[in-house]
Structure 1
Amino acid sequence: MGYKADSIFKNQFFNMLMQALNIAFPLIAIPYTTRLFGPEVLGEINFANSIVQYFLMISTAGIPIYAVREIAKARDDKELLNKKFKEIAILQAIFAIVSTILYVILIFNMPRFRAEIYIYLFLGIQIISNIFNYVWFIQGIEKYRYVAITTFITKVINIVLIFTLLKSREDYNLYAFIMGITVFINVFLNMIISIRLFKDLKYDQKININYKNLKLHMKFIFIFFLSDVAVKVYTAMDQTMLGIIDSNEAVGYYSMSIRLVKTLLTFVTSLSVVLLPRISNSIINNKSSDVKKYLSISIKLVYLIAIPAIFGILAIGEEIINIYLGSEFLQSASVFKLVSILLLIIGLSNVFGVQVMIPYGKEKKFTTILIYAAISNFIINLLLIPEFSYIGAAFATILAELLVTVLMYFEVKKILGSVPEVFNVTKFIVPSLVFYIIIKLIIKNIITSDLYVIIFSIPLAAVIYAGGLIALKEDIVITSLDKLKDLLLKLRNKK
């Protein structure tokens, strides 16, 4: 026997905790760094980080998603699990070393990169760290609590370093170092846990690495690598092209808006990560009837979180930017509102692609769709950035992500015959629209302080939204309330 997976509820709890940490700690640091460095300096750092992303793409080579799936399939077989872990770890080390060498050659031979060489060297720590990044093993055997613990430790270290060491605008190299070294610390901690869990298998027989198996892994990894290339290209391309065509300042305005939205997006997409091993395992065991059930829940959870968040950003986007990022970033407000729609678009594409297409072995289709998106994003960026700067980049990103979601929807429809709940959005839109109108027409006309607008609007919106869902008898909310009542009754009876 191999590993017994933790329950979905337990995994979901720890994954949501991890996502909450990924949101909470940056939310603490961002107001400090935006005021300390301003749009231009942060634009330079974010441009450099966009370059790093291309080499991270080579370093990971599509391995993480593939590895989670393969480890999940093998977790009930000690010998197979042992074998797959070692083979995938070897391939990962090779890709990470090659990627690091290529990155170092590039940054020392490009004048623009050499001018800020320390930024690129420090951020490049992320690339070499991937040699030892075995977090996919922990995720594959569904022990998410360990990932949550290492995430918490790393985030605390990151925050402490930022607030104790960064004191002036001249400390931007140190900021890049903190970004790089905290990634390394996180990888190092996950590596220790992964090796310990691996040793717990107590599989004493020696495993000989079969190079034919490495080639077989490469065949499938290549498909994931292509999809990773497409994702990294069209997610990092906007900032790269803005930095080349426009200015670091434009990158600063755009990147901070995108970062805020993608921080919120981690909540929207977190369920997909948890359910990937479970769905992969269900498919192997011919439990295909569970897929639609999981899919239905996932789509509703995306709507539950994404739709009110979008309406909230549309209502108080300017106030959030001014209070949170500072007055230097007020030009980011228009981008922030525009890209808020990505919460819904990417949330759905993540469900369709990660939860359905990949477990069903549709990696080639998945990759093809992402390649189409990358090409379209490049073309639209090329057309719009020279004329519309960061607004053009925002439109390019939205259109590319929309293309991904639509194409993946039709692919999932082919696989399952139908896509449950995808058009059942009215119950989520109605209460969101109600609180949007109240905030825009009443709250913002009565209250003039940006801070107080935010303070009053968020709890008011939450009450209206929750009340609306209960009044409209939205299934997922009613079911959750019933389970909560049952839990409270059990606790009372125990007393």
Structure 2
Amino acid sequence: MSKKNIRINVIARSVVTIVELLFSLFSFPYVARILAPESIGHIDFVNAAVAYFITIGSFGIAEYAGREIAQHRDDLNVVSSVLSKFLGLRLKLAFVLIIVYLVLVVPFYGHSTPLFYWSTILILTSAFNLVWALEALEDFSYLATARILSKVGLLVYLLTMVRTKEDVVTYFLGMILFDFIYYILAVFRLKATYHVKFGLKVLREKIDTSEFKNLIRIFMMVLIQGSIAGVPSLVMGHLHLFHDLGLLSTAMRFFWMGYYCITPLSTVLLSRSMSFKSHVHKNERFDHLDGAALSLLTLGVPVTFGLIATAADVIPLLVGGEYTGSILLLMMLSPLILLFVLNNFWSMQVVFSHRGDRALIISNSCGLATVILSSVILIPWLSAAGAAISYFLTYAVMCAIPYFYGREYYRMSGVLLDIGKTLIAGIVMCAAIYFVQATSFAKLGGKIAMGVAIYLLVLFIFRHRMVVSFLDNFKSAKVQ
């Protein structure tokens, strides 16, 4: 691929990330103020339940077939065959899962909210999600355009159709509709270039035994990993703690906004960590990977402490006084950013890439066991706060196990002092924002700007050498 195409793809992906952030920043506060916490809790419960069926229906196809398409993207017949085969499999699975969902889930929980009946549509529409194929073909500019169109359309829909607390179903159906529009735009793009079969013909497509075995292996890993996030929501919904679930869901929305702020830059840095080879001298490899992990922490610390310090301002300002209970939850969830950043680095970029998927399966399995056990014990006792603690314990376990398996690739002891200095800089930043908050001589934007300036100043004083190294690291990664 030419440098020009790489540049276009990077820009397209960055634009999509920015659009997603801006959409969440504008749409969710609007919807949250109208629907109130209990309705948000109902929506989160339904989404968590149907997500398991969508994950089962996906069957690891995006991961497996996406790799096949990426390897043969210039072969029209191979790509067409892969698309037809796996679209047919997705549709077959969707029809079976809809029946199972209507028999095993809807009768038991449909009385809680009518959304359970409407959520059946999600299982079917998700089968047409071929976005992964365009990603494998690296057609990111088209995907960016399609995503922007669908998000703009959804925003207009929300502003015009969701006006009262009774518009919960209207909101839910709008989310389904515009995601489906995004999927269909991707399908049209593929149909215009490749010979993708549709209608009843696609249901006759079959996959061979070897492909099915590979799918099963990938599916188990995807299912375990995808099951973790929804467990606390399912437990809270089962206990009818919908108001508290709405508060937790709101805090999680702002947490993800904070996390995705560092995702584009961390992706650039992490891409460089994949380049080391087995013949590289061990000490050089240690320095290389330890420096990458430290760079990620340097990005994650200000976002973490910034969310903790500004939660009391951000929540009431954006979603209103009904969600003040989300303030403490956001503070409790914010340290997860550091765990996510390190786990992403240690598990996906090091352990999975150089030790295979066994360690990753063990890590995810232990994480699933932790979240189930901690949720069942803590949520009936502490409600949403118990769910936040459960998330922290789960991802702490999922961070520790890959570190153990990948310790031969990094030592981290050489940068412990720099990690400590980075954390101190974050704490000083947080304390300064709290001081400004108490004296009330600056608005939210001023507090954030001042906090970032203080963090950078303290970091520069403590870690002058590492700051220069970080900038050099980033420049080198950008060039690659």
Q: Which residue of 2 aligns with 1:41?
A: 39
Q: Which residue of 2 aligns with 1:159?
A: 155
Instruction: Give the Cα–Cα distance (whole angstroms) in 2 for the partners of residues 71 and 307 of structure 1.
Output: 38
1:357–1:422: structure 2 CA closer, same or farther, 3 Å change rule? farther
Q: Which shifted more, 57-66 or 386-395?
A: 57-66
Q: Which residue of 2 aligns with 1:462?
A: 452
Q: Which shifted more, 472-481 or 35-44?
A: 472-481
Q: Which residue of 1 aligns with 2:400?
A: 406
CA deviation after TM superposition for structure 1 residue 470, in Å: 5.1
Do structure 1's residue 62 and structure 2's residue 60 form an aligned pair?
Answer: yes
Q: Give the superposed CA RMSD.
A: 3.6
1:275–1:327: structure 2 CA closer, same or farther, 3 Å change rule? same
Q: Which residue of 2 aligns with 1:374?
A: 368
Q: Which residue of 2 aligns with 1:224?
A: 218
CA deviation after TM superposition for structure 1 residue 224, in Å: 2.5
CA deviation after TM superposition for structure 1 residue 184, in Å: 0.8
Structure 1 counterpart of 2:212, one-letter code: M
Q: Which residue of 1 aligns with 2:252?
A: 258
1:105–1:361: structure 2 CA closer, same or farther, 3 Å change rule? farther
Q: Which residue of 2 aligns with 1:113?
A: 110
Q: Which shifted more, 367-376 or 158-167?
A: 367-376
- The answer on whether the counterparts of 2:106 and 2:117 sit within 8 Å (CA) in structure 1 is no
CA deviation after TM superposition for structure 1 residue 181, in Å: 1.0
1:109–1:481: structure 2 CA closer, same or farther, 3 Å change rule? closer
TM-score, normalised with respect to structure 1: 0.82
Find 1:144's aligned residue among 131, 140, 164: 140
Query: What SS is found at the alignment partner of 1:229?
Result: helix
CA deviation after TM superposition for structure 1 residue 113, in Å: 1.1
Find 2:438's aligned residue among 436, 445, 448: 445
1:294–1:187: structure 2 CA closer, same or farther, 3 Å change rule? farther
Q: Which residue of 2 aligns with 1:329?
A: 323
1:411–1:275: structure 2 CA closer, same or farther, 3 Å change rule? same
1:291–1:168: structure 2 CA closer, same or farther, 3 Å change rule? farther
Query: What SS is found at the alignment partner of 2:253?
Result: helix
Query: What SS is found at the alignment partner of 2:110?
Result: helix
1:26–1:135: structure 2 CA closer, same or farther, 3 Å change rule? same
Query: What SS is found at the alignment partner of 1:348?
Result: helix
1:66–1:348: structure 2 CA closer, same or farther, 3 Å change rule? farther
CA deviation after TM superposition for structure 1 residue 313, in Å: 1.5
Structure 2 counterpart of 1:247, one-letter code: L
Do structure 1's residue 434 and structure 2's residue 434 form an aligned pair?
Answer: no
Query: What SS is found at the alignment partner of 1:378?
Result: helix
CA deviation after TM superposition for structure 1 residue 349, in Å: 1.6
Q: Which shifted more, 71-80 or 363-372?
A: 71-80
Instruction: Give the Cα–Cα distance (whole angstroms) in 1 for the partners of residues 355 and 101 of structure 2.
Output: 32
CA deviation after TM superposition for structure 1 residue 67, in Å: 3.5
Instruction: Give the Cα–Cα distance (whole angstroms) in 2 for the partners of residues 11 and 456 of structure 1.
Output: 34
Instruction: Give the Cα–Cα distance (whole angstroms) in 2 for the partners of residues 89 and 361 of structure 1.
Output: 31
1:267–1:70: structure 2 CA closer, same or farther, 3 Å change rule? farther
What count of residue pairs does the alignment treat as equivalent?
A: 464
Query: What SS is found at the alignment partner of 2:138?
Result: coil
1:42–1:211: structure 2 CA closer, same or farther, 3 Å change rule? closer
Structure 1 counterpart of 2:397, one-letter code: L
Structure 2 counterpart of 1:362, one-letter code: G
Structure 2 counterpart of 1:446, one-letter code: T
TM-score, normalised with respect to structure 2: 0.84
Query: What SS is found at the alignment partner of 1:256?
Result: helix
Instruction: Give the Cα–Cα distance (whole angstroms) in 2 for the partners of residues 301 and 93 of structure 1.
Output: 43
1:272–1:124: structure 2 CA closer, same or farther, 3 Å change rule? farther
Residues 153-197 of structure 1 show CA distances to partners (whole Å, capped at 9, x for unaligned) of 111111111111111111111011111112111111122233445
Instruction: Give the Cα–Cα distance (whole angstroms) in 1 for the partners of residues 4 and 96 of structure 2.
Output: 36
- The answer on whether the counterparts of 1:124 and 1:180 sit within 8 Å (CA) in structure 2 is no
Q: Which residue of 1 aligns with 2:386?
A: 392
CA deviation after TM superposition for structure 1 residue 244, in Å: 1.5
Residues 294-339 of structure 1 show CA distances to partners (whole Å, capped at 9, x for unaligned) of 9668635532432101111221211111112211111111111011
1:16–1:263: structure 2 CA closer, same or farther, 3 Å change rule? same
Instruction: Give the Cα–Cα distance (whole angstroms) in 1 for the partners of residues 119 and 4 of structure 2.
Output: 35
- The answer on whether the counterparts of 1:6 and 1:143 sit within 8 Å (CA) in structure 2 is no
Instruction: Give the Cα–Cα distance (whole angstroms) in 2 for the partners of residues 127 and 60 of structure 1.
Output: 10
- The answer on whether the counterparts of 1:231 and 1:374 sit within 8 Å (CA) in structure 2 is yes
Q: Which residue of 1 aligns with 2:21?
A: 23
Structure 2 counterpart of 1:67, one-letter code: A
Structure 2 counterpart of 1:479, one-letter code: D
Instruction: Give the Cα–Cα distance (whole angstroms) in 1 for the partners of residues 273 and 192 of structure 2.
Output: 26
- The answer on whether the counterparts of 1:345 and 1:401 sit within 8 Å (CA) in structure 2 is yes
Instruction: Give the Cα–Cα distance (whole angstroms) in 2 for the partners of residues 403 and 224 of structure 1.
Output: 22
Q: Which shifted more, 361-370 or 128-137?
A: 361-370
Query: What SS is found at the alignment partner of 1:132?
Result: coil
Instruction: Give the Cα–Cα distance (whole angstroms) in 2 for the partners of residues 398 and 172 of structure 1.
Output: 30
Do structure 1's residue 478 and structure 2's residue 474 form an aligned pair?
Answer: no
Instruction: Give the Cα–Cα distance (whole angstroms) in 1 for the partners of residues 368 and 105 of structure 2.
Output: 24
Q: Which residue of 1 aligns with 2:199?
A: none
Instruction: Give the Cα–Cα distance (whole angstroms) in 2 for the partners of residues 85 and 354 of structure 1.
Output: 26
How is 1:124-273 mapped onto 2 (pairs within 5 angstroms)? 124-196=120-192, 198=194, 211-212=207-208, 215-270=209-264
Q: Unmatched 5+ residue regions in structure 1?
A: 201-207, 487-495
Instruction: Give the Cα–Cα distance (whole angstroms) in 1 for the partners of residues 147 and 434 of structure 2.
Output: 38
1:77–1:425: structure 2 CA closer, same or farther, 3 Å change rule? farther
- The answer on whether the counterparts of 2:269 and 2:474 sit within 8 Å (CA) in structure 1 is no
CA deviation after TM superposition for structure 1 residue 77, in Å: 5.7
Identity of aligned residues (%): 22
